[in-house]
């Protein structure tokens, strides 16, 4: 693992966002198109990626102890940090975006490439299965939190329940799990089509995000504290707690490395689209995707170096 590899993962994300911004400056896209693209990413392409990651995972070759650790530790740690934000910030829309910023991770683009570079192609399954475990957890937490913050202090359980069962990410997760546990598989033609669509989902979402960027003072007004806190939680605090506990419990090598690659990932690109749909602070959500994406190359490198120096990965 070196800086060139880390930058090789981060650079395409930045380029896609820059292209989106350039397209808008050159007036190649207008606001209705950008809005439509964000909606399409949220409802179609990114949920398809969620399904695809589950669809291709193989639970049979996975360390069950690591699976249980991920299922228990990750939601507990995320919920503890969520409580900190809940009682620290007042604005509901901002709280929703801050929490989503450190809860949802971009495992799709980071976990598997990082693992393959560290341990070879055979390790990609660990990243895929860990992603399959964390994606449902983080999606459920996020949908509940964002739906809860939509109303003025009123807990509408019917609305939260309806939001969960109709959310594209949750629906994709349920369908994906059905395929995993039943062993169902698509014909090659359909499989190849899904694979192709999944490949352009993240670039499409990033271009839409970049096209919505406004580099002016109003973009940052009232958002600096939220960006700093959520970025620090996503890239430093949350990974440090989850990985530290895992190391103390005896996880080593590929297992700890796989967990590192998942929990150290920057904020999920689709969090911006979800913020739009569930009425969170979209400016803050956009800034968090950008800040965590740019800084993750540094923090991922430091985490890997630290654990490698102690012969833990």
Q: What is the pLDDT of residues 10-26, one digit of tens each?
A: 678 778 888 988 998 99
pLDDT of residue 77: 95
DSSP assignments along the chain, one per residue: --HHHHHHHHHHHHHHHHHHHHHHHTTSS-HHHHHHHHHHIIIIIHHHHHHHHHHT--GGGS-HHHHHHHHHHHHHHHHHHHHHHHHH---HHHHHHHHHHHHSB-HHHHHHHHHHHHH-GGGHHHHHHHHHHHHHHHHHHHHHHHHHTTSSS---HHHHHHHHHH-HHHHHHHHHHHHHHH-----HHHHHHHHHHHHHHHHHHHHHHHHT---SHHHHTTTHHHHHHHHHIIIIIHHHHHHHHHHHTT--HHHHHHHHHHHTS-B-THHHHHHHHTT--HHHHHHHHHHHHHHHHHHHHHHHHHHHHTT--
Q: Which percentage of the chain shows pLDDT scores above 70?
A: 85
64 confidence band (pLDDT: 50, 70, 90): confident
Q: Which of 46-60, 172-186, 243-257 is the most confident on average?
A: 243-257
52 confidence band (pLDDT: 50, 70, 90): confident
Q: What is the pLDDT of residues 190-211, one digit of tens each?
A: 988 988 887 888 788 778 878 8
- Higher-pLDDT residue of 269, 189: 189
pLDDT of residue 249: 95
Per the prediction, the chain carries an average pLDDT of 83
pLDDT(213) > 80 = no
Q: Which of 33-47, 155-169, 171-185, 235-249 is the most confident on average?
A: 235-249
pLDDT of residue 59: 63
Cα dist from 172 to 31, 42, 176, 284, whole Å: 28, 11, 6, 26
Lowest-pLDDT choice from 44-53, 229-238, 242-251, 267-276: 44-53
For the chain, the domains span 3-308
pLDDT of residue 207: 87
102 confidence band (pLDDT: 50, 70, 90): very high
What residues does 267 pair with on adjacent strands? 105
220 confidence band (pLDDT: 50, 70, 90): confident
What residues does 105 pair with on adjacent strands? 267
120 confidence band (pLDDT: 50, 70, 90): low
Q: What is the pLDDT of residues 146-174, one digit of tens each?
A: 888 876 556 566 766 776 677 787 788 78
Q: What is the pLDDT of residues 25-40, one digit of tens each?
A: 998 988 888 888 878 8
pLDDT(225) > 80 = yes
Q: Which residue, 159, 82, 175, 145, is CA-closest to 274?
A: 145
pLDDT of residue 5: 61
Q: What is the pLDDT of residues 257-287, one digit of tens each?
A: 889 988 998 898 788 888 888 878 888 998 9
Q: Which residue, 273, 267, 209, is CA-closest to 16?
A: 209
CATH architecture of the domain with residue range 3-308: Up-down Bundle (1.20)
């Amino acid at each position: 693992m070196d800086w060139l590899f880390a930058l090789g993962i981060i650079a395409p994300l930045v380029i896609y966002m820059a292209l989106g911004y350039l397209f808008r400056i050159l007036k190649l896209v207008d606001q209705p198109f950008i809005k439509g693209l964000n909606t399409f990413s949220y409802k179609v392409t990114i949920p398809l990626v969620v399904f695809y990651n589950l669809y291709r995972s193989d639970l049979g070759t996975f360390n069950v102890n690591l699976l249980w650790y991920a299922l228990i530790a990750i939601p507990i740690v995320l919920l503890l940090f969520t409580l900190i934000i809940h009682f620290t910030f007042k604005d509901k829309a901002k709280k929703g975006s801050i929490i989503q910023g450190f809860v949802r991770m971009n495992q799709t683009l980071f976990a598997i490439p990082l693992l393959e570079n560290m341990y070879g192609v055979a390790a990609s399954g660990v990243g895929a299965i860990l992603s399959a475990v964390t994606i449902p957890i983080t999606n459920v937490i996020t949908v509940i939190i964002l739906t809860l913050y939509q109303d003025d202090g009123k807990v509408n359980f019917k609305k939260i329940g309806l939001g969960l069962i109709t959310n594209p990410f949750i629906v994709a997760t349920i369908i994906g799990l059905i395929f995993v546990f039943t062993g169902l598989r698509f014909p090659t033609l359909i499989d190849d089509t899904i694979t192709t669509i999944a490949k352009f989902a993240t670039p499409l979402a990033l271009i839409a995000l970049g096209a919505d960027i406004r580099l002016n003072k109003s973009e940052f007004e009232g958002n600096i504290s939220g960006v700093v806190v959520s970025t620090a939680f996503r890239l430093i605090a949350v990974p440090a707690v989850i990985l530290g506990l895992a190391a103390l419990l005896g996880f080593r090598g590929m297992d700890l490395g796989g967990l590192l690659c998942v929990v150290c990932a920057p904020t999920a690109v689709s969090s911006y689209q979800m913020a739009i749909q569930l009425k969170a602070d979209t400016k803050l959500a956009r800034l968090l995707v950008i800040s965590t994406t740019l800084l993750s190359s540094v923090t991922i490198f430091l985490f890997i170096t630290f654990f490698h120096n102690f012969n833990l990965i």
